[in-house]
Amino acid sequence: MLIRILAAVLLLVLLPFLLIVFFFIYIEDGYPFVFKQFRIGQHERVFIFYKIRTMRRNTPERSTKEIDESENWVLKTGYYLRKYSIDESLNLLNIVKGDMKFIGPRPLIIGEVDMHARRKELGITKQKPGITGWAQINGRDVISDERKLELEKYYLDNQSIKLRFVILLKTIYYVVYSVRQKLFK
């Protein structure tokens, strides 16, 4: 319950910034500001996943890596939101609803059938998905699905307060480092 309250407080703190972001999205591509998608959660339960919309309204409904020339579909505002992972801030709504937590494996898109089957085999679907996790701080989208599964299984088998703290610190470091690196280029 404390995690859900913390997520709600963070959403309230971020609200003025989110309103500015929504304004820029509206100017560039209209309404809606929020991207909703069905994702697979704990115990294979399907839930509505929230993100700030970063792609055009008429973008094909597939994962970004499956869309040809996906960079042409990304909004100018969306480019920056993705670069700094700001688009993920609405995942806090999923924590408030109880669908996710701060740390865990990222929730899968329903169409990622093979990855889901492997996660189920390894027992990874027993835990709630998270905003960040062991796989995200160890390569995120530049590592293979097999490597992600290894890292998610490692987290499942070795969960501890210490490991969560390491993940949280490294996530903060990578976000701050990324922002600093982009600002001072």
- For residue 89, the tally of other CB atoms under 10 A from its CB is 20
Structure tokens at 122: 């390894």
Sheet holding 46-52, edge to edge: 46-52, 34-40, 108-109
6 burial class (0-12, 13-18, 19+ CB within 10 angstroms)?
middle
d(CA 88, CA 109): 15
Q: pLDDT value at position 60?
A: 65
- Residue 167 belongs to what domain range? 2-183
Q: At what angle do helices 76-83 and 2-29 cross, to 10 degrees?
A: 150
Q: pLDDT value at position 66?
A: 55
Nearest to 128 by CA among 47, 12, 38, 37: 47
What digits encode the pLDDT tens for the residues 33-79? 999 999 999 999 999 999 999 988 877 666 556 555 566 788 888 88
Number of domains in the chain: 1
Q: pLDDT value at position 183?
A: 53
Note every long-range contact of 139-148, with CB atoms under 8 Å and residues 24 or more positions apart, other chains counting: 141/65, 145/114, 145/115, 145/118, 148/105, 148/115
Is the pLDDT at 176 greater than 90? The verdict is: no
116-120-121-124 Cα dihedral, nearest 10 degrees: 110
Q: pLDDT value at position 148?
A: 94
Q: pLDDT value at position 57?
A: 85
Nearest to 77 by CA among 7, 140, 18, 136: 18
* Confidence category of residue 97, pLDDT binned at 50, 70, 90: very high
Is the pLDDT at 100 greater than 60? The verdict is: yes
